[in-house]
């Protein structure tokens, strides 16, 4: 996989207030970066042949949790005008928000720590690097800019925002777009911020990559997941069916803590599977026996003999019956085109003549 | 054995009796539920195809379509049970009771009656099938003369009658998976899943091609056969598909002089 | 006669059914044996294992990714946008391809890469300025040039894009602020030079010139290699050696392009030709001096140095 290069921005802001145009599109953009970055065509092909687009869609940026952050809070190496190609953003740096529950400066460091301890971390428990650690994901391999997916609770639950619903809040908190943004922030968290189908796509980025799978000796788990009822319902747009994260993260834990099934604390460790399946939102009433269901079936004779032989049987039956009748019908149609022909001429005597109707 | 008119004349045309209203109603229930099942099941089997999602949404989406599927499946399972009771009752009424009344009922006789039932495949079916292939490959000049139930119709009948006992219980287990997990281990679901999806594929592929060929696409039938509505076959259809039975019925009714010759694909045969 | 016709219809139908039967046989095959047609996309990536260099790998990937889009389901709407590997921020929409430019046929839509410092800016301008606007200048004795908007789809002159005026007015964006993205640079047309001929406006690169290029692309393998060089020369005949510089337009006194006539509202115009942009260009000059003033010159010098 191509290592993602730094977000660069060739264009620049101008420092003095004088130069900030009076119609600056958004108050948040104090630095006026969008003066250049609002242009859809601000792009280039870099030295390695990667296409780089420096356009920023302000509306979409504003419906993400990062709204209101100044560009240089993340792109912190940009400190002069004009700026040189920017470095890759370090997601774990502290930003200027005070995290309200702990009154500390906010940072994604905790998440990075969780990730580093998970199956996707780059180090083994003894501190040495894992083999092929360059394949293992960092933030941007799974995340693009998160977007709010608010829920509307007014007369039924559906995605979107109900103006009637938030009108109650607005009667007191009337200033600015505080209510909308606060509402979006909270209700987006009340359900999946990305659909299950998108989550599967995120995992598939690596877990369906043949090269990576070979290097790490992995089965194509995304393919086998897509063969299951869960996978198929998700493909059809269900949001009540589990995706990868739902089963591979211990209920209540951080989603970044995905552990190998060989680790005793993981949700997929043989003795933990039953608990995972029987979490309250899923197979609550099932017995622990349900855990012997095989999810990632590859139809290999060694690993899954039952499925292998059943499939051979059914596919054999299917092919035999269908192609038998297909041939029969084909020849029956052909016979209609040459109704009087017989290889043995003596037998043609049976035929009385052409029908008159 | 049969207490109905084997042939009626309507508008000067001979019509040959085939299905009772009771049987026709069972067929209507069968095909409506099967079509519903296919429409709500197939998008789920192939969700990545472009038609899958629109069709599934049309059938109610991920919330409603599964309910429709389970409802139609339940109807089909009940129909299966009903039909089983139906043929057993008919069998006793028409074949066993007369024997019993005459005091001729033995265990061997019972099984003999069972095996000579109309729908049970027999030696003539095998011969007919071989004859048909001979005819289709131009080795013989005339198609086989089928009796009242041809081997293809028997196959059509047993496709669902064998399919439902596989599909139905498997579907039932998948539906009540949490409850069934108390009775059996989880990997039974893996087996049920394969049984359900692959047998369903067979049923759908077969019905929408072979069965629909027999009753819709075939040049003699196009656009649709009417026997499922009227219960009667026309003389032409009878000659075409059940020539042996046709001759038998005509002789029974004393209409030997009016028997028409066999024909297929525009060719008539001496008989 | 009627009987014959009937027989023909019958046979025709039978043949049709036979074709249907064969089709059904091929249709069934993947269903029965469980191959999904969707795996085709991944198949084109299978060659990657055989690629020797990184460049080869990248090429195969690009070929496989062509036209790849990314969808984000927000529940109340679905965003469909071009997929760019490694991009964090959302783009939000697809843009119209420029079908009217003959240059793009070979050079692509992101052609500038010689002067590293400003290439993104130049590519940005390529979104709404036709190549001819900067890379061709009228020669002595030419009919006077005029500039008009050239529709990206049809290649015909078109009215001044309304979005130039509405783009800065927030209320026009749609009530929820999401309905329509204000997109600078994506106007559906490009400013291109032309002239009046027999009372009719004609672009310097019009349909005729486009036809010539298309013809060349189609037949370039058939013509001799010497002729090919000749043809390329002919296509690039009017291209001037030194392109116009930023200050040609971004100055208050004598802007090269008649921006007001082309529909830029006064506020925008003032911005483009006054401190905010011009000031930045000045800053840029200092920042990147000396290469900024003469894009490409630096490279030439480097090459000369290498030769020595």
Closest Cα in chain A to C167: A25
Over the range C157-182, which residues count as b (16 or more CB within 10 Å of their CB) and which as e?
bbebbebbeebbeeeebeeeebeebb
Among A244, A262, A292, the domain-final residue is A292
Pick from A152, A111, A157: which is nearest to A258 by CA? A111
State which residue of chain C sits closest to B223, comparing Cα positions: C13
CA–CA gap between residue B198 and residue C273 (Å, rounded)? 70
Residue in A5, A28, A35, A59 to test binding to C, most C beta-carbons within 10 Å? A59
**C contact residues 286-305, partner A, Cβ 8 Å cutoff:** 287-288
Task: Tell me the pLDDT tens digit for each residue of B25-43.
Answer: 999 999 999 999 999 999 9
* Position C186 pLDDT exceeds 90: no
Q: Is A95:A235 a contact under the CB 8 Å cutoff?
A: no
- In this structure, of A39-53, A335-349, B77-91, C255-269, the range with the lowest mean pLDDT score is A335-349
Rounded distance between C-alpha atoms, residue A90 and residue A111, angstroms = 13
- The pLDDT value recorded for residue B3 is 44
A255 plus A326 within the same structural domain = no
Contact, B31 vs B43, CB < 8 A? Answer: no
The residue from A107, A142, A165 where one domain ends is A107
State the smallest CA–CA distance between residue A271 and chain C in angstroms. Answer: 33
HEC states along B118-168? CCCCCHHHHHHHHHHHHHHCCCCCCCCCCCCCCHHHHHHHHHHHHHHHHHH
| Min Cα separation A356/chain B (Å) | 8
pTM: 0.81
Q: Would you call A283 and B267 a contact, using CB atoms and an 8 Å cutoff?
A: no
Q: CA–CA distance from A159 to each of A67, A152, A234, B207 (Å)?
A: 20, 6, 17, 41
Domain contains A178: no
> Could you give the ipTM of this predicted complex?
0.90
- Rounded distance between C-alpha atoms, residue A114 and residue C84, angstroms: 28
Place C48 in a pLDDT band, splitting at 50, 70 and 90. low
- Nearest residue to A58 (alpha-carbon basis) of A37, A85, A30: A37
Q: A263 and A212 share a domain? A: yes
CA neighbor of C239 nearest in space, from C130, C141, C128: C130
Which of A236, A334, A355 lies at the smallest CB-CB distance from B52? A236
Of A290, A332, A351, the CB nearest to B141: A351
Q: State how far the Cα of C36 lies from the Cα of B142, in Å rounded to an integer.
A: 43
Instruction: Measure in Å the smallest separation between the Cα of A215 and chain B Cα atoms.
Output: 28
Nearest to A337 among C14, C271, C288 (CB): C14
Token pair belonging to A131: 């083999």
Q: What are the tens digits of pLDDT across the range A269-325?
A: 999 999 999 988 899 999 999 999 999 988 788 888 998 899 899 999 999 999 999
Cβ atoms < 10 Å from Cβ of C225: 7
Q: Considering the domain boundaries, does residue A226 fall inside one? A: yes
- Pairwise CB contact (< 8 Å): C17 & B48: no
Least confident of B89-93, B266-270, C46-50: C46-50
Contact predicate C25/A189, CB 8 Å: no
d(CA C102, CA C293): 28
C282: contact with A, CB 8 A cutoff: no
pLDDT of amino acid B69: 96
Q: Neighbours of A (≥3 Cβ pairs closer than 8 A)?
A: B, C
DSSP string, A105-123: E--SHHHHHHHHHSTT-SB
Instruction: Retrieve residue B57's tokens.
Output: 């949404």
Give per-residue burial for C65-83: e unless 16+ CB within 10 Å, then b. eeeeebebbbbeeebebee
The alpha carbon of A139 is separated from its chain's Cα centroid by a whole number of angstroms, namely 13
If asked whether residues A4 and A76 sit together in one domain, one would say yes
Q: Are A339 and B135 in contact (CB < 8 Å)?
A: no
Q: Say how far apart CA C88 and CA C73 lie, in whole Å.
A: 16
> Does residue C190 sit in helix, strand or coil?
strand
Please tell me if residue C190 touches chain A, with a CB cutoff of 8 Å: no
Those residues with Cβ within 8 angstroms of residue C102's Cβ, 6 or more apart along the chain or in another chain: C205, C209, C210, C212, C213, C214, C235
For residue range A171-198, what is the model confidence (pLDDT) as tens digits?
888 887 788 888 888 888 888 888 899 9
Q: Are residues A50 and A101 in the same domain?
A: yes
H-run or E-run covering A324: helix A305-337
Residues in chain A with CB shorter than 8 Å from the CB of B176 are none
B201 CB near a chain C CB, below 8 Å? yes
Burial environment of residue C270 by CB neighbours within 10 A (0 to 12, 13 to 18, 19 or more): middle
- For residue C37, pLDDT beyond 60: no
Q: Are C103 and C162 in contact (CB under 8 A)?
A: no
Is A174 a domain residue? no
Q: Which of A306, A315, A350 sits opposite B142 (nearest CB)?
A: A350
CA C26 to chain B, closest CA, distance in angstroms equals 12
pLDDT tens digit string along A136-153? 999 999 999 998 888 877
Q: Does B219 touch chain C (CB under 8 A)?
A: yes
Do A242 and A272 lie in one domain? The reply is yes
Rounded Cα gap, residues B223 and B161, in angstroms: 26
Q: Where are the alpha helices (DSSP H) in chain C?
A: 2-33, 40-43, 54-65, 104-107, 119-125, 131-135, 163-166, 207-219, 225-235, 266-273, 280-288, 297-307
Which of A52-61, C159-168, C217-226 has the least mean pLDDT?
A: C159-168
Domain span at A287: 196-292
Question: In the numeric block, which tokens belong to residue A328?
Answer: 């029969």
C86 touches A at CB < 8 Å: yes
Please name every residue paired with B112 in a beta bridge, in sequence order, or none if there are none.
Answer: none
Cross-chain Cβ contact A229/B174 below 8 Å: yes
Specify the DSSP element, H or E, that contains B232: strand B232-234
Q: Which of B153, B156, B190, B197 to mutate to test the interface with A (most CBs of A within 10 A)?
A: B190
Helix H or strand E encompassing B190: helix B187-205
C170 interaction partners in chain A (CB closer than 8 Å)? 25
Domain boundaries, given as residue ranges, for chain C: 95-243
CA distance B219 to chain C (A): 7
* Contact call for residues C210 and C203 (beta carbons, < 8 A): no
User: How far apart are the CA of A85 and the nearest CA of chain C, in angstroms?
Assistant: 9
Tokens 């869960």 locate to A230
Q: Would you call B62 and A237 a contact, using CB atoms and an 8 Å cutoff?
A: yes
Nearest to B219 among C14, C28, C32 (CB): C14
In this model, does residue C49 exceed pLDDT 70? no
Q: Is C28 on the interface with A (CB under 8 A)?
A: yes
Cα distances (angstroms) measured from residue A357 to each of A256, B262, C6: 78, 14, 10
Convert the pLDDT of each residue in A9-68 to its tens digit. Answer: 333 333 333 333 333 334 456 677 888 888 888 888 888 888 888 998 888 888 888 888
Q: Which one of A107, A141, A157 terminates a domain?
A: A107
Q: Using the beta-carbon criterion (under 8 Å), do B205 and C28 form an inter-chain contact?
A: yes
> Which subunits have 3 or more CB–CB pairs within 8 Å of chain B?
A, C
| Whether B51 contacts chain C with CB within 8 A | no
The stretch C39-49 carries a mean pLDDT of 52
**Beta-carbon contacts below 8 Å between B and C:** 21
Query: Is B138 part of the contact surface with chain A (CB cutoff 8 Å)?
Result: yes
């Amino acid at each position: 996989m191509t290592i993602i290069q730094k977000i660069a921005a060739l264009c620049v802001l101008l420092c003095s207030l004088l130069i900030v145009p009076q119609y600056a599109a958004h108050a948040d953009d104090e630095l006026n970066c969008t003066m250049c970055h609002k242009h859809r065509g601000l792009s280039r092909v870099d030295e390695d042949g990667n296409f780089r687009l420096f356009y920023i869609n302000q509306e979409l940026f504003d419906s993400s949790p990062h709204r209101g952050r100044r560009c240089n809070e993340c792109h912190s190496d940009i400190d002069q005008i004009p700026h040189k190609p920017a470095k890759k953003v370090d997601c774990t740096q502290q930003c200027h928000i005070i995290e309200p529950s702990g009154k500390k400066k906010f940072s994604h460091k905790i998440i990075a720590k969780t990730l580093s301890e998970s199956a996707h971390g780059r180090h083994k428990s003894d501190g040495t690097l894992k083999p092929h650690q360059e394949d293992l994901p960092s933030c941007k391999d799974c995340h693009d800019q998160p977007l709010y997916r608010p829920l509307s609770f007014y007369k039924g639950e559906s995605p979107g925002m109900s103006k009637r619903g938030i009108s109650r809040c607005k009667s007191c908190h009337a200033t600015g777009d505080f209510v909308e943004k606060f509402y979006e922030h909270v209700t987006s968290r009340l359900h999946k911020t990305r659909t299950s189908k998108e989550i599967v796509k995120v995992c598939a980025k690596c877990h369906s990559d043949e090269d990576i799978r070979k290097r790490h000796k992995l089965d194509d788990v995304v393919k086998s997941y897509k063969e299951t009822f869960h996978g198929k319902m998700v493909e059809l747009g269900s949001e009540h069916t589990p995706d990868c994260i739902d089963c591979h993260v211990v209920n209540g834990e951080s989603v970044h803590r995905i552990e190998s099934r060989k680790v005793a604390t993981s949700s997929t460790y043989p003795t933990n599977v039953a608990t995972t399946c029987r979490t309250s939102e899923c197979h609550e009433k099932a017995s622990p026996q349900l855990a012997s269901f095989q999810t990632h079936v590859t139809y290999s004779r060694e690993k899954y003999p039952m499925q292998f032989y059943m499939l051979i049987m059914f596919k054999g039956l299917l092919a035999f019956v269908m192609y038998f009748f297909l041939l029969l019908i084909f020849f029956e149609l052909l016979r209609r085109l040459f109704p009087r022909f017989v290889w043995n001429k003596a037998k043609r005597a049976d035929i009385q003549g052409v029908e008159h109707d | 054995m049969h207490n109905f008119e084997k042939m009626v004349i309507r508008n000067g045309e001979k019509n040959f009796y085939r299905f009772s209203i009771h049987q026709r109603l069972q067929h209507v229930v069968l095909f409506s539920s099967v079509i519903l099942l296919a429409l709500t099941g197939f998008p789920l089997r192939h969700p990545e195809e472009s038609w899958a999602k629109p069709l599934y949404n049309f059938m109610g989406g991920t919330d409603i379509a599964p309910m429709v599927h389970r409802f139609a499946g339940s109807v089909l399972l009940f129909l299966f049970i009903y039909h089983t009771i139906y043929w057993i009752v008919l069998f006793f009424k028409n074949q066993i009771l007369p024997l019993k009344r005459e005091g001729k009922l033995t265990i061997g006789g019972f099984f003999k009656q069972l095996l000579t039932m109309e729908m049970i495949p027999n030696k003539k079916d095998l011969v007919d099938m071989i004859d048909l292939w001979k005819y289709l490959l131009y080795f013989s000049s005339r198609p086989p003369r089928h009796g009242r139930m041809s081997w293809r119709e028997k196959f059509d009948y047993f496709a669902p009658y064998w399919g439902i006992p596989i599909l139905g219980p498997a579907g039932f287990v998948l539906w009540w998976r949490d409850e069934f997990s108390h009775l059996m281990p989880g990997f039974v679901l893996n087996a049920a899943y394969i049984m359900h999806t692959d047998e369903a594929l067979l049923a759908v592929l077969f019905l929408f091609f072979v069965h629909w060929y027999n009753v819709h696409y075939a040049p003699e039938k196009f656009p649709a056969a009417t026997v499922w509505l009227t219960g009667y076959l026309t003389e032409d259809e009878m000659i075409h598909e059940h020539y042996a039975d046709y001759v038998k019925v005509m002789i029974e009714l004393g209409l030997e002089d009016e028997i028409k010759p066999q024909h297929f694909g525009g060719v008539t045969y001496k008989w | 006669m009627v009987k014959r016709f009937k027989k023909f219809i019958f046979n025709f139908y039978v043949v049709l059914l036979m074709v249907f039967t064969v089709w059904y046989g091929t249709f069934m095959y993947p269903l029965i044996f469980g191959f999904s047609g969707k795996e085709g996309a991944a198949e084109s990536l299978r060659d990657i294992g055989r690629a020797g260099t990184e460049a080869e790998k990248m090429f195969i990937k690009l070929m496989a990714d062509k036209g790849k889009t990314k969808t984000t389901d927000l529940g109340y709407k679905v965003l469909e946008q071009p997929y760019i590997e490694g991009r964090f921020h959302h783009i939000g929409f697809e843009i119209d391809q420029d079908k009217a430019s003959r240059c793009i046929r070979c050079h692509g839509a992101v052609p500038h890469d010689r002067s590293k410092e400003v290439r993104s800016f130049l590519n940005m301008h390529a979104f709404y300025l036709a190549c001819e606007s900067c890379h061709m200048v009228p020669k002595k004795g030419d009919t006077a040039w005029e500039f008009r908007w050239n529709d990206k789809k049809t290649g015909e002159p078109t009215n001044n894009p309304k979005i130039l005026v509405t783009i800065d007015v927030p209320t026009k964006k749609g009530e929820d602020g999401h309905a329509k993205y204000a997109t600078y640079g994506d106007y559906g047309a490009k400013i291109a030079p032309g002239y009046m001929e027999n009372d009719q406006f004609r672009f310097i690169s019009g349909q005729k010139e486009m036809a010539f290029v298309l013809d060349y692309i189609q037949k370039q393998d058939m013509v001799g290699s010497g002729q090919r060089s000749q043809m390329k020369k002919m296509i690039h005949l009017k291209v001037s050696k030194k392109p116009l510089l930023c200050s040609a337009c971004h100055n208050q006194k004598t802007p090269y392009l008649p921006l007001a006539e082309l529909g830029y509202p006064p506020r925008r115009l003032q911005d483009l030709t006054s401190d905010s942009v011009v000031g930045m260009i000045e800053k840029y000059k200092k920042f990147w001096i000396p290469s900024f003033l003469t894009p490409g010159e630096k490279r030439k010098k480097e090459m000369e140095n290498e030769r020595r």
